Amino acid sequence: MAEYKMILDLDTGIDDALAIAYALATPESDLIGIVGSYGNILVEQGVQNSLDLLEMLGHTEIPVYQGLSHSSTTDHFDVMPISAQIHGKNGIGEVEIPTAKRKVETMNGPDFFIEAAHKYGKKLLIVPTGPLTNLAAAIKKDPEIINLVGRVTLMGGALTVPGNVNPVTEANINQDPEAADFVFRSGIPLTMVGLDVTTRTLLTTKETQKWRDLGTFAGQKYADIVDYYIDAYKVTSPHLGGCALHDPLAVGVAVEPSLVTTLALDMKVDTEGPYAGRTIGDETKVNNPNPISKAAIGVNKDKFLDEFMEKLTKLFAEAN
């Protein structure tokens, strides 16, 4: 029996699609549900992508819940052109996969967080890889979950490197700085897996060719999806030499914290002015001897990439 129960909170673009596959292929935790968010695409498209990918990978037992469709301070959401460029207009590199027979659950995403926190307690791992709007809404509705959950491992932020929206701001945090600030300051046990480490874990066409060579439908489709991502990175981040495994790394760290070295630091998010969206230490807690949150600043990239390729290649080989 798996040690942990995991919920992914995704705006299902390409690296989120890889996070789904990695979570499915990780025996240390059971993926008990996916909560949909906005960001790389609209929430409705993201939820559909999650349903379609789960069905393609042979896991129709995992429920998908729709979360909030826009930030906590706006009344609508428009996909940024750069997001469409990197992930494709459909979020998965313009690759077409069969439409799932299943539909989204009737319960909303924040309520699912609350229900799962009360049911599983410290065994629950929450992995948000988009904006923190859904988790903030859940905590505001039921603050008790702060002390119930095992830990939150989020993909977002940048502490020791520049952001990817502007010099100080990372994209997921940028979608809803107010929600991120609320979650960071809430007291929930949190590890930030940001650009400091995710841009060191890179995939190239050498790896996707291994999936293509499997001769399976899932392997071919995932290779097509990720090759689109790799091509986008050649334009947006040619210095990296591959595509960053942002969201899968957060999944990996959730179940295997030793993959990263961390700095214990109570953090906050600036919400206004030129530094809006910046993730940084909270000056009001600088003398706290026992910080609740951590920021990943180093990663054992070879170990992670080896595990990532081994697990996903096996998953794609067995999917069909």
CA-CA distance, 107 to 116, in Å (whole number)?
12
- Residue 127 CA from chain centroid, whole number: 6
Tokens matching residue 197: 């480490």
Q: Which residue among the candidates 9, 111, 181, 246 is catalytic per the annotation?
A: 246
Interatomic CA distance for residues 263 and 248, integer angstroms? 21
Give the distance, in angstroms, between the CA of residue 50 and the centroid of all CA atoms in the same chain. Answer: 13
Place of tokens 């629950």: 124
Using DSSP's 3-state secondary structure scheme, residue 34 falls into: strand
Do the Cβ atoms of 194 and 158 come closer than 8 Å? Answer: yes
Please identify which of the residues 11, 196, 247, 266 carries the catalytic annotation: 11
* Neighbouring-strand partners of residue 202: 244
- Could you confirm whether 142 is annotated as catalytic? no
What percent of the chain is helix, strand and coil (3-state, nearest 5)? 45, 20, 40
Q: Directed axis angle between helix 14-24 and helix 246-255, to 10°?
A: 30
Helices then strands, counting H and E runs in the chain, come out as 13, 12
Is 76 designated active site? Answer: no
Residues β-bridged to residue 130: none
Residues designated as active site: 11, 246
